[in-house]
Amino acid sequence: MTTKHTDSGQSGGRTARVITHVAFEDLGSFEQILREAGFEVEYLRAGSDDLDVIGPETDELLIILGGPISVNDEDEYPFLGTELELLEKRLAADRPTLGICLGAQLVARALGADVYAGKHKEIGWSPIRLSDAGSRSALRFLVGDDVCVLHWHGETFDLPEGAEHLASSDLYPNQAFSYGNALALQFHPEVTARALEQWFIGHTCEIHQTAGVSVKQLREHTARFAGTLQARAYPFFAEWLEQVAANS
């Protein structure tokens, strides 16, 4: 069953369709920004909802969020093939699309790039570095003194042909890229401190199986960095929404 979140105070008539892979990895702070921009937000759950309701060539915004599975697990999770086919059509039509974490890996794969295991898992808070193109983009709001973003992944991707590299981190060179009206972010700019408590429960096995990572450490770093990230996420996401609206 799809879930619609609406704001009766807005009348923009625009729709953001959001694919989730686990319930607790949702839009976070981005949902309020979308509502304020006049979007109706509709969540679709991968694996149970019909993803064919998403128009591959419509102007509606598509956001694909994260999850603990691999893009390469199509045999076990056939809906990944549906997502990839949808993305291929949307990217070819240059429709507004945002992929976060698993969503970014799906965008990369849909553009023909390889997605594969990294040398180290990257779980926790750390800064990103922007390329020249990234410094001119809305991502500029997500860097600065004491600004860190949340990373939670063990896989990475090659930069797709024709994509513009935007950001990197100490462990992974490809943290963000754009491709027309699509943006792919390996990291999580959408998270909030309160919502991350659900992540600490849902990802407990991965946390306890990863050397150097603990709930205590993650909670302490979340208390330090999440408020600043949430404040910076607002101008970042609002500006990106304005840009794709102007280009669509």
Boundaries of every domain in the chain: 3-247
Cβ neighbours, 10 Å, residue 47? 16
Q: CA 91 to CA 107: how far, in whole Å?
A: 8
For the stretch 117-159, pLDDT in tens is: 999 999 999 999 999 999 999 999 999 999 999 999 999 999 9
Cβ neighbours, 10 Å, residue 189? 22
Q: Work out the mean pLDDT of the chain and round it to a whole number.
A: 94
Q: Transcribe 55-98 into DSSP letters.
A: -TTSSSEEEE---SS-TT-TTT-THHHHHHHHHHHHHHHT--EE
Q: Which amino acid is at 177?
A: F
Q: Contact at 8 Å (CB) between 248 and 241?
A: no
The closest alpha carbon to 225, from 167, 151, 174, belongs to 151
Instruction: Write out the H or E segment, with its range, that includes residue 17.
Output: strand 14-20
The Cα diameter of the chain in Å comes to 49
Q: CA 191 to CA 175: how far, in whole Å?
A: 16
For the stretch 49-76, pLDDT in tens is: 999 889 888 889 999 999 999 999 999 9
With a cut of 50, say whether residue 9 has pLDDT above it. Answer: no
For the stretch 194-242, pLDDT in tens is: 999 999 999 999 999 999 999 999 999 999 999 999 999 999 999 999 9
Identify the CATH assignment for 3-247 out of 3.30.70.2610, 3.40.50.880, 3.30.420.140, 2.40.40.20: 3.40.50.880
Give the per-residue pLDDT at 8.
Answer: 37
Give the per-residue pLDDT at 248.
Answer: 74
Tokens of residue 17, six digits: 């369709």
Q: Contact at 8 Å (CB) between 218 and 200?
A: yes
